Chains A and B, each alone.
Chain A
Amino acid sequence: MGHTWDFATILQNWPVLWVGIKGTVFIFVITVVLGLGGGLVVGVARYAKSPFLSWPARAFVEVFRNTPVLVQIIWFFYAFPILTGIETDPFLAAVLGISLNTMAFSAEIYRAGIQSIDRGQWEAGKAIGMTYNQTLRRIILPVAVKRVLPALTNRGIEVFKMSTLASVVGYVETLNQAKLIADLNYNPIESYTAVALIFFVVLFPVVQGTYVLERMLRKGD
């Protein structure tokens, strides 16, 4: 157990790692926006009275919530092109897998938020002549989304970590680059420790922020 830590090779390879970090941030931004944004649409559809909206939304949620993201990414990379004739690349496969999974989970968060709003709010909007959509947009969603903000931030944090799964199909991100460094320098311990550290350094302050957010929201209620 006499490992001598040597981070010098990591620092020497910092440009390689930096490319990976940029890849991580890039795919994170895309998937978090698509996932949380699309989730709002699916969540609203899931809540809708019309079965033509709620049933497809429900099917979507169940499919993507009950299959592993890793499998989804691999499936979009290897199976999807053969089945549909549509080419995918590592980036696209990973974006699809992570975004769709995030949409499914966040849709349930939004739906729970909408459901938690008192029926009287719908009635008040309706009584002054607002349409369903106006009431939803102006009265229900602002309060519902605010209420589920902590849950959504947690989802965002999950998405950030899930981005490492993209390495399985060869998308260039932090973990993938660390593996490259490890293979070339025979220093897997330092390489993968560095990856863990990088994620921790980014996420720890963010998580602390969510605690503050939660406390502020609770006070606001």
Chain B
Amino acid sequence: MSEILRIENLHKSFDDLEVLKGIDLTVQSGETVVILGSSGSGKSTMLRCVNFMESPTNGKIYLNGDLIGTERNGKMTYKEAELCTLRSRIGMVFQHFNLFPHMTVLENVLEGQVIVLGRAKMEARDKAMAQLERVGLAEKAFEYPSRLSGGQKQRVAIARALAMDPEVMLFDEVTSALDPELVGEVLKTMRQLAEEGMTMLCVTHELGFAYHVANRVLFLNEGIILEQGEPQSILKNPDTNRMREFLDGHSLFKLPD
């Protein structure tokens, strides 16, 4: 296994509010990392700093060994073009899908490939169909998003991200907006991706997913990684009271013995 993503001393403030207070994390290629933490602990902010949806206040991010940005007098500076390229190398899936409503499913999956990567139409089309196949929605290629269920929308959003051949995938509570009976199909798709060797950072409250799929679980608390470890041990025997309280709050979750 080789390192694919490294986060060093990541800080992020919104005005006076310091949300991330020094995050260090190295992710190996093919790893699935689940990030847990209570509301407001900075999980989304952390993910969004990785692909520069937010710019970090401080710290460094390396993707596949490349330092993102240029260091000048101890401060990182970023060019917008560089960040666009970086974002095209990292897939992101949102809680509310954010599919493009005026485009068919297929066009949604084509858009980034053609506009951002400049792929030829035919190649992009083959790629798009392959990704839709992968998430089990090839037969919906010519539907508009409004005609899909939430679970299907989310799988299209995953296909849209996958079509860019991302080096890392970020998932931010992607099942939180779904009806309970639709959560399973999305988690299954994610599990399949993890098993195929995709590198994934997932913010989720699905502890079952964390337990069965993650290679590593992080517990984020007040802007720092309070604990991390293998899911089997950390979810059963957390070191800190804070994490134990957090896990107790998820009373529906029964750990398999």
Across the interface, do B92 and A120 meet the contact criterion of CB distance under 8 Å?
A: no
A134-B115, A138-B111 given as contacts; is B94 within 8 A of A124 (CB)? yes
- Would you give the 0/1 interface string for A124-162, flagging 1 where the beta carbon is closer than 8 Å to chain B? 101111110010001100110010000000000000000
Q: In which size bucket is the chain A interface?
A: 10 to 19
- Given A123-B53, A123-B94, A134-B115, A129-B84 contact (CB < 8 Å): yes
Q: In the complex, are the beta carbons of A129 and B88 less than 8 A apart?
A: yes
Determine, out of B65-73, B97-105, B237-245, the stretch whose residues face the partner at the interface.
B97-105
Contact of B84 among A123, A130, A138 (CB under 8 A): A130
Binary per-residue interface labels of chain B (159-203) against chain A in the complex, 1 for a CB within 8 Å, 0 otherwise = 011001000000000000000000000000000000000000000
Query: Is A129 a contact partner of B87 (Cβ separation < 8 A)?
Result: yes
Task: Report B-chain residues with C-beta under 8 Å of the C-beta of A146.
Answer: 102
Contact (Cβ within 8 A) A134 B96? no
B51 close to chain A: CB less than 8 A: yes
Instruction: Tell me if B84 and A143 are in contact (CB < 8 A).
Output: no
Contact A128 B88 (CB under 8 A): yes
List of A residues within 8 angstroms of B161 by Cβ = 127-128
CB distance from A86 to the nearest CB of B (A): 39
Report the bound CA distance from A128 to B160 in whole Å. 8
Within 8 Å by CB of B99, from A124, A134, A142, lies A124
Quick check: is A121 within 8 A (CB to CB) of the other chain? yes
Contact pick for A143, options B51, B80, B101, CB 8 Å? B101
- Are B111 and A128 within 8 A (Cβ)? yes
Chain A residues lying within 8 Å of B233, measured Cβ to Cβ, are: none
Q: Please determine whether B100 and A139 come into contact, CB atoms closer than 8 angstroms.
A: yes
Map CB proximity to A onto B44-77 as digits: 1 under 8 Å, 0 otherwise: 0000000101000000000000000000000000
Q: How far is the CB of B125 from chain A (nearest CB, A)?
A: 17
The docked-state distance in angstroms from the alpha carbon of A128 to that of B99 is: 12
Q: Is the CB of A134 within 8 A of B116?
A: yes
Minimum CB distance partner of A128 in chain B: B112
CA distance A146 to B81 in the complex (A): 30
CB distance from A156 to the nearest CB of B (A): 22
**Inside 8 A of A129's CB, which chain B residues have their CB?**
84-89, 112, 116-117, 164
A130→B51 CA distance, assembly (Å)? 13
Tell me which of B81, B102, B164 contacts A128 (CB under 8 A): B164
- Across the A-B interface, how many residue pairs have beta carbons closer than 8 Å? 60
Q: Of all chain A residues, which has the CB nearest B113?
A: A128
Q: Which residues of A are found within 8 Å of B53, using beta-carbon distances?
A: 123, 126-127
Task: Type the 1/0 row for B125-166, where 1 means its CB is closer than 8 Å to any CB of A.
Answer: 000000000000000000000000000000001001100100
Instruction: For chain A, residues 59 to 88, give those with C-beta under 8 angstroms from any C-beta of chain B.
Output: none
Which of B94, B96, B100 counts the most A-chain CB atoms under 10 A from its CB? Answer: B100
Chain A residues within 8 Å of B80, by CB: 131
Out of A121, A123, A127, A138, name the residue touching B115 (CB < 8 Å). A138
Query: What CA separation (Å) do A27 and B86 show in the bound complex?
Result: 49
**Chain A neighbourhood of B94, CB < 8 A:** 120, 123-124, 127
Interfacial chain B residues near A127, Cβ < 8 Å: 51, 53, 87, 91-92, 94, 161
Most buried by B among A118, A128, A138, A143: A128
Question: Which residues of chain A are near B115, meaning CB under 8 Å?
Answer: 130, 134, 138
Closest to A121 in B: B98
Nearest-CB distance from B107 to chain A (Å)?
Answer: 10
Q: Can you name the residue of chain B whose Cβ is closest to the Cβ of A146? A: B102
Are B87 and A128 interface neighbours, CB within 8 A? yes
Contacts of B102 in A (CB 8 A): 142-143, 146
- Per CB-CB distance, the 9 closest pairs between chain A and chain B, nearest first, are A129-B88, A128-B112, A124-B98, A120-B98, A127-B92, A129-B116, A129-B87, A129-B84, A142-B102
Q: Which B residues are within 8 Å of any A CB, using their own CB?
A: 51, 53, 80-81, 84-89, 91-92, 94, 96-102, 111-112, 115-117, 157, 160-161, 164
Question: Chain A: residues with CB nearer than 8 A to chain B?
Answer: 118, 120-121, 123-124, 126-131, 134, 138-139, 142-143, 146
23 contacts between A and B (CB under 8 A): A120-B94, A120-B96, A120-B97, A120-B98, A123-B53, A123-B98, A124-B100, A124-B157, A126-B87, A127-B53, A127-B94, A128-B88, A128-B164, A129-B87, A129-B88, A129-B89, A129-B112, A129-B116, A130-B115, A131-B80, A134-B116, A142-B102, A146-B102
